[in-house]
Structure 1
């Protein structure tokens, strides 16, 4: 029997690992049990957001004091740049330990998978969809989750294109889906999300034409959250679900927002979890997307027309405020860019809660 633990630790900057170091020193976190670390860093969330790589470098340096290098590299590091508005920089440390044999019901289960590097010419194409689908299945097996319905969230860190990677592909006689490095982020997020949809049988591979990726937003996953970064060339995949083979007080459920102010499904999830009555909030993870119409419930917005601030930055701040108002906390993981992650303009939300007394 395994037990999942989730530690939410505020940070003073991308390189601040003092909270993690303190938790390890007092025995609250066992380094050998860490499966993944998710983080919100205060960069711009775009191609040149090196706060993500900075945070990963600092985390690996700290963990190298406690673990062999191979074990440090096996951890999934999913850093999401951008804490616009009042979103608070923090990390979520996901840990697995041995749990008590007795279990009154299903508990949070965590699985992880790291894929092979993705060739630059495969980014945003069906090869990426297949690679991610296989990785999600591997992460489910790692968590011991057999039933697709028991998966509530799949968090992925995926690569993007840089000028050097584009040149590498072209030098070997290949072409890339785009030469625009910023657009490559959306294509990578979208292909990764469709890979989740295929793995969870929300879509079949035959439903997806390569021309659909990043364009046909009628194709989407209800449980995918993908974030692109310059700091890696593979995919780091974390599956969150429920299993009777796991014990402990943590539970997870998910909702799908139809648009940026669709709070009803989130409220329903909070009620199912008994938040504020039977449980307390541990973590909230969500996707934010301005949508392609330029309107929200009939009213025009300017998120897509602002040349100074990326639309994803607007969306993170806006959705972050909506969700923070529901749960009473700004330490929430809101990631921008929701291509194929929930309906156009909306997005999936996952809530991890702790049963009272646990």
Structure 2
């Protein structure tokens, strides 16, 4: 098994098209553009079907990186995994997290497993396959491929699986109808949840968190079926799933470690503290002499039963603001207060990603050695 070293760089952005921070780091030699494997970002759109800040951000990054790599922007998008999560409500701060990977020798004396990253793609889906068993099955295959790419052998060493998945548009629904097929829903907004949910169930199947005996009718209905490490985000800009696996591996020579916990609901502060503790950190201000917080990645959603710990919430009944925006703001504020920074990655819509109303939270720390 080859040994790799992962690098992580968190870069603030002034807008969806701002690539200046990344290009400055490339210009200084801090980042080798040829080593970039994935870029995860928070953009300040609405996170909905018409959130074109995600596509804008990806286009800007691809255009900027193309001459650096000697590729076309289209080829850059096929080479690097881009996952842009729209919505920076409340104190959430727009930023990108750049993951690099290169071949490296594991230093003598380096102990324990270190952060590793792997990537894989599913095939393109037909519109009628979104939110259904085909998406679950293909995602499970891609998760296993990404684990192999990362050199992660055990499911227990996987701490976060980030997926970018498609959604339905009226044109895509019409195309399925023209072939005599029905889609899981005709609503573009609802299709985001179906796609996120099926993708998350694919992660759960791949990691053995649930049985592979999952059916179309289980999506968005069997909320007792979920993954503790899945984070899925829907977008209009693709028709396949992009899968990024983050975990710890004995074949990694990186200076980072990742851990996770699962929030039971949107105000589960102890779970966030547990995630911080899992990588040797505490709540802000960070006091560890040999470790530093890099970033936190979490999912958030409005509890589907309309309550949090016995008290009614109104997130699902607000016709002015989407429930996903409410959830990102609430969970983002909670995590930011404990982490000491608003530059954290909190994504809305946690269907089958942790228990209903909750979600996974992963923390990456840099080790001084």
TM-score, normalised via structure 1 length: 0.97
C-alpha deviation, 1:99, in angstroms: 2.9
Question: 1:103-159 deviations in whole A, cap 9, x for unaligned?
Answer: 222110000012211110100100000010011011011101111111111000000
Aligned partner of 2:268 in structure 1 is: 262
1:54-203 paired onto structure 2 within 5 Å: 54-67=56-69, 68-69=71-72, 70-102=75-107, 103-203=110-210
Runs of 5+ consecutive residues of structure 1 not aligned to the other structure: none
C-alpha deviation, 1:164, in angstroms: 0.9
Specify the SS of the correspondent of 1:287. strand
1:225 aligns with 2:231: yes
Q: State how far apart, in whole Å, the 2-side matches of 1:23 and 1:63 are.
A: 12
Q: State how far apart, in whole Å, the 2-side matches of 1:106 and 1:291 are.
A: 35
Instruction: Report the aligned-residue RMSD.
Output: 1.0
C-alpha deviation, 1:86, in angstroms: 1.1
Specify the SS of the correspondent of 1:316. helix
Specify the SS of the correspondent of 1:174. coil
Q: Which moved more, 1:243-252 or 1:191-200?
A: 243-252
> Structure 1 280/110 Cα, relative in aligned 2: closer, same or farther at 3 Å?
same
Specify the SS of the correspondent of 2:227. coil
Q: Which moved more, 1:312-321 or 1:100-109?
A: 100-109
C-alpha deviation, 1:253, in angstroms: 0.2
Question: 1:176-207 deviations in whole A, cap 9, x for unaligned?
Answer: 1110110000000000000000000001221x
1:19 aligns with 2:21: yes
Aligned partner of 2:361 in structure 1 is: 349
Choose which of 24, 31, 53 in structure 1 pairs with 2:33. Answer: 31
1:329 aligns with 2:341: yes
Choose which of 37, 40, 43 in structure 2 pairs with 1:41. Answer: 43
Specify the SS of the correspondent of 2:335. helix
C-alpha deviation, 1:100, in angstroms: 3.6
Runs of 5+ consecutive residues of structure 2 not aligned to the other structure: none
Q: Which moved more, 1:164-173 or 1:124-133?
A: 164-173
C-alpha deviation, 1:57, in angstroms: 0.3
Aligned partner of 1:210 in structure 2 is: 216
C-alpha deviation, 1:214, in angstroms: 1.3
Q: State how far apart, in whole Å, the 1-side matches of 2:159 and 2:277 are.
A: 16
C-alpha deviation, 1:173, in angstroms: 1.8
8 Å CA contact 2:54, 2:85 repeated in 1 = yes
1:281 aligns with 2:287: no
Specify the SS of the correspondent of 1:238. strand
Specify the SS of the correspondent of 1:14. coil
Specify the SS of the correspondent of 1:38. strand
Q: State how far apart, in whole Å, the 2-side matches of 1:293 and 1:213 are.
A: 16
